[in-house]
Structure 1
């Protein structure tokens, strides 16, 4: 197994003049060859040494995705530093906590949307270094860093058993935890990913999901380092679709929220009934499918994937009907994310997260919890030996906290979280995720969270889709009522949902309802709403202002 730096040097030697990174600036690509990247890695490493930073020091990265993020990360690996990625949407409190908990000695800051609000999270004595974008004040700018001292050359290759990064979880249930990954866990997983997805130097990928999240870091950044593919970035949210079209990716990885927005845009342009009709006409069907793919920039894409949160099976089925087969995967920060994946896509197994990748071993606990063992597992939680010890079985399996079922063919269904299950006032336990999956088939619903700890029955909190928000309230109420009644018939008596409540406030990262990877913080919604829902009974559909 080779380290990322060995792979970087391999590509410099074999295709050094080939373009590796494509950074859009004012609508035009700034391109970096493999040799360009390696040169900047050595120059930046020399600058960091010149500033007195020594191997083993923790250095944080706070930036949206860009070519310099990759270059910075490779530099920290090359020079023996420990990287601490921070989400570019993190608030000041989270930034402060992460920097202090990780003992970071410096922070490298890049593209940010709201740096004035975030700056308070960085103490005055923290060494700030800046990527070449308009961002918060820093002691040293990118070009200065590249010219400080001498390029660092002839350094020992990183040992596979040394710490590469402390990756903080997105904090869906409290303070983020610092997950320690060695080079070995990262390298093994990145190699497993390219083998499963079958990436080659001729492929093209895009990097736009947060690199602070382990999925993007392993599958896209790691995948590029180990396969030699080129990577294009996104300039801004406004240019996203144009950036995708220009990049023409052959692999496209996204999250359920974005797949849902793509679906909405397609339906808005064509109309749901018209689209269904056109897809039934043999002569026109292929033309429509190709036009949709071209409109999204997917004309040359051979692999589509979704992760970070559960995607409704109904959404995968919808895309399957237009020849876009979305392979769902499953993983966690603690196991380098790439453990289970639905590749090759099997339309008979929609709703599963696939099978374990080669080298990954899984089993169920007596309670139905998914247990995972692989070379991609973390070394532990930073500064928390007690939690580390409690997170593994005696046999070395990681306790994922996810409940699952495994069918006769070895495909895994994730059925919920151990901690998500709640007890109603009647003393019965309810698993909310299967109920959410059923309700999510109603296209009026964009996001859903079932709560009910201490209530007689569960209540579903809902965010409507944009289209549903434009409809008359009574039309939406009738549809949701029909959906709810149809589902309640098939639920156990203690599981029946007493009401659907459409909330006023938009669920977002900014108001702390969503994590940076757009997972819903169930405990936050429960704390904000539970006391207002006690009197709802009998399958009602209510807007929040009707409570």
Structure 2
């Protein structure tokens, strides 16, 4: 075992132990901040806080309440809720009881929710509201093992045929827990002491593009390791304020909760995506994590607003954007060579002017104190990354999978390099297979897929190496660059290999109106693209181009928009190899979203789903229709 790995040999067996240590170290420090909507819903939200001691009281009450319901070690307790402080406290309660959390996205339909609950053998479901409760009641006959449903919001009214006490509120669960602790004061601490490092802590079901989702088994040691490894990177400190909106049913959001317990900083929690812009100036976070789609939307919004503001404003923005990219590239390159993020005097002068005119406003929109953003789940277009870096919003890309507890690589602070996912976390080993596939090994790797030994054997070797399915390359000094998903790379009928994600990323950097793009061309004689456009950005463009009043749907079908996007496709093609160029494209009749199944809940593109849904448009582009 390497020296780096040995640093983690003596880590506690679980995050539950880390929580006890955190409470002892900083009992009265602020732990969580959460919004409370105004009484009539018309005014701004108020924000309240829990100290670590206050949070722990609720966590232990939930843990004891679950034990009072008969939940035993490693038995599963599911959580179906949006991102909110109650999700975090409930999850910690499950872990402190020695049980295991099954995560369920609140957007999951009734059929798949029932499958996850049944496959995981979940005994209790913590449901956010009546909508989540109704989904389970609809499939109740398929869930004989489900003993209780705990409702976070609303009243717990029994339905016909349900046994007494089958549904109870979260408040009632905590009341039972407190009563349980009066009789057995050490019940929770004893349960925490009994937790083994290899004991199941979490079952996260991957949102597959085809077939049933697979349950990823992550033991307590994965989260304890991740908490320690995140702290070791130094990316977060005790003084930080994190803004957490990511879905906690997803491994990216979940790992941030473990890291916070170890570091001890404040986390402001609100999963309402439509509240992000409103919340950031209020919370004023020093760091936050997001997915590329969020940064793309911010960039497109700023670019389209500048264009709508008229020729002068648009020219200033374009100039400032180029200065930002140049400044980021030069300073990162100089830091790599000399250890100092310097720039020539002329470039610094231009950057200072652009900062006053453009960048300062962007930073203010993020709350004005943002030190760094962590980006993961998918690749961020480098040109967008360089833009934000030059504007003073430092986006540190990371990399990991559900099967590796989310964080395997992350860019290291000042030494970050846009276009890479950084270096491996302490304790994580990496190697590149002969075909370019990234293989990982370390304490963060899953135990396997739940009830699927054959599927486990396909990706997890007996010596611990996990096959990620991603293609990448390592620099001499250990920075990893992801080039594409192994299964997404295709070969044209002319025998040329194409990495669609690379082309898609370049298009997102040149077109401020794109929401999503799918490049297609497997076994075809040329490449085509399906392009979805952002409604806000597009309607902003329409207002300044004589098309005000047209609906989003009318704009998508218009010749004017086709010509607009065609110009950006030509711009994209000018920088591609001949076999990569987009010969034809179609503007999709709607945006891609989670509700239609085009995106995962973490906003990752489901390529096969989109290609199936818009098969007719794809076929049309290969049957003599007009070219772009």
The answer to whether TM tops 0.5 is yes
Deviations 1:507-527 (A, max 9, x none): 111111111111111111222
Q: C-alpha deviations, 1:11-68, integer Å up to 9, x for none?
A: 2212212221122112222322211222222222222222222222111001111121
Q: What TM-score, normalized by structure 2, do the two folds share? A: 0.79
Partner of residue 4, structure 1? 15
**Structure 2 stretches of 5 or more lacking a match?**
1-10, 38-44, 159-166, 182-186, 324-349, 546-557
Question: What's the counterpart of residue 79 of structure 1?
Answer: 97
Corresponding residue for 1:108?
A: 126
SS of 1:239's equivalent in the other structure is helix
Structure 1: distance between partners of 2:616 and 2:562? 23
Whether the aligned pair in 1 keeps the contact of 2:291 and 2:378 (CA below 8 Å) is: yes
Relative distance call for 1:526 and 1:267 in structure 2 (3 A) is closer
Determine the C-alpha separation between the residues in 2 that align with 1:461 and 1:284.
35
Unmatched runs of 5 consecutive residues or more in structure 1: 543-547
1:30-109 to structure 2, matched below 5 A, reads 30-109=48-127
Partner of residue 210 from structure 1, selected from 218, 228, 247: 247
2:510 pairs with 1:434: no
Shifted more, 187-196 versus 416-425: the winner is 416-425
Larger Rg: 2
SS at match of 2:216: strand
- Provide the C-alpha distance between the structure 1 equivalents of 2:572 and 2:360, rounded to a whole number of angstroms: 35
Q: Secondary structure at the match of 1:324?
A: coil
Q: Say which of 4, 12, 16 aligns to 2:27.
A: 16
Q: TM-score, normalised by structure 1?
A: 0.90
Counterpart CA distance in 2 for 1:287 and 1:177 is 49
Matches within 5 A, 1:322-471: 322-346=391-415, 349-393=417-461, 395-426=463-494, 429-443=497-511, 444-466=513-535, 467-468=537-538, 470-471=541-542
- CA gap of 1:452–1:287, structure 2 versus 1, over 3 A, is closer
Q: CA RMSD in A?
A: 2.7
Moved more, 403-412 or 201-210: 403-412
Q: Confirm whether residue 275 of structure 1 aligns to residue 275 of structure 2.
A: no
Match of 1:309 in 2: 378
8 Å CA contact retained: 2:62, 2:94: no
Task: Check conservation: 2:78, 2:101, Cα contact below 8 A.
Answer: yes
- Larger CA deviation: 124-133 vs 171-180: 124-133
* Residues in 1 aligned to 2:21 and 2:138: alpha-carbon distance in whole angstroms: 42
- CA–CA distance in 1 between the matches of 2:258 and 2:582? 43
More helix by share: 2
Following TM superposition, by how much is the alpha carbon of 1:283 offset from its aligned partner in structure 2, in angstroms? 5.0
Which residue is 2:190 aligned to?
A: 155
Question: Corresponding residue for 1:512?
Answer: 597
Give the one of 161, 170, 183 matched to 2:207: 170
Count of residues in Structure 1 that have an aligned counterpart in Structure 2: 539
Greater Cα offset, 286-295 or 324-333: 286-295
1:83-128: CA deviation from partner (whole Å, max 9, x where unpaired) = 1011122122221111111111110012687775676355575344
Supply the distance in 2 between the matched residues of 1:103 and 1:117 (Cα, whole angstroms).
Answer: 17
Superposed displacement of residue 428, structure 1: 5.2
Within 5 Å, which residues of 2 pair with 1:182-261? 182-218=219-255, 220-234=256-270, 236-261=272-297
Question: Aligned to 1:440, what secondary structure does the other structure show?
Answer: helix
Structure-2 separation of matches of 1:525 and 1:399? 26
Cα distance in 1 for residues equivalent to 2:498 and 2:449: 30
